[in-house]
Copies of this chain bind each other. A is one copy, B any other.
Amino acid sequence: MTDRAPKIRLFVEAELSQGTGLPLERDQANYLFNVMRLSVGSEILIFNGRDGEWRAEVVEANKRRGVLACREQTRAQSLPPDVWLLFAPIKKARTDFIVEKAAELGAREIHPVMTRYTNADRVRQDKLQAHAIEAAEQCGGVFVPPVSEPQKLTEALSALPLDRALMFCDERMEAATARDVLRSAPPGKWAILIGPEGGFSPEEAEMIRTRANTYPVTLGPRILRADTAAVAALTLWQSTLGDWAE
């Protein structure tokens, strides 16, 4: 196993440093030893979102338990640019998708917000967090954006510091294109707000537009579903103000 880069990447909670021994949780042991057929001496990559990525070796393996040993740091920890995604949950599969894509596209924090026209299945923060972790495992990330518990839109806006610029995407309004707005917008801390399928209520739209440091934008001439709008907005932000521009 030592002449090939290990392919499996696993998120763990524990602190990682040279030589650390990591007892595996039952579902992790099941995945590694029963599903993936690893055994003592096998190597995988592990990360915890804080200490970079490490090559780890299986030093104990049975069906329900196991221990990994941290051998060597393979990547330093890094943070994505400081952009948050605030979005109104929609149907379950599309909500899961938004969280997965936000993690892939390098959002720093993910915040589900409940709006007047939100018509969502029950939002389980723990399940959404698991999707963000899986996206990082799959896509080689060393950072996992935290997913907050759902909050009301009014509370989310109150909690949003005024030094954080807000890119406000509403399909139903007149605004400049995201490209033109972002090109002349300041760098720094940002958040992106995506509404539900029915859009924002007139009162909500007014409240958002009158917030200081807020930039209304349109995402083209076609109506986009909320999940598409989230990916498009993060893409445009990353390629203009984020780390795709470098």
List residues of chain A with CB under 8 Å of any chain B CB. 80, 97, 101, 104-106, 138-141, 177-179, 219-225, 228, 231-232, 235-236, 238-240, 242-246
CB pairs A–B below 8 angstroms (23 shown):
A104-B222, A104-B228, A105-B220, A105-B222, A106-B220, A141-B222, A177-B239, A177-B244, A177-B246, A178-B239, A179-B239, A179-B240, A220-B239, A220-B242, A221-B243, A221-B244, A221-B246, A228-B231, A231-B231, A231-B232, A231-B235, A235-B236, A236-B239
Nearest-neighbour CB distance to chain B for A140, whole angstroms, equals: 5
When the two chains form the complex, which single residue of B105, B220, B231, B244 contacts A243, counting CB atoms closer than 8 Å? B220
How many copies of the chain does the oligomer comprise?
A: 2
Tell whether, in the assembled complex, residue A106 and residue B222 are in contact, meaning their CB atoms are under 8 Å apart: yes
**Chain B residue nearest in CB terms to A101:** B228
User: In the bound complex, do residue B236 and residue A220 qualify as a contact, i.e. CB atoms below 8 Å apart?
Assistant: no
Contact of A224 with B105 in the complex, beta carbons under 8 Å = yes
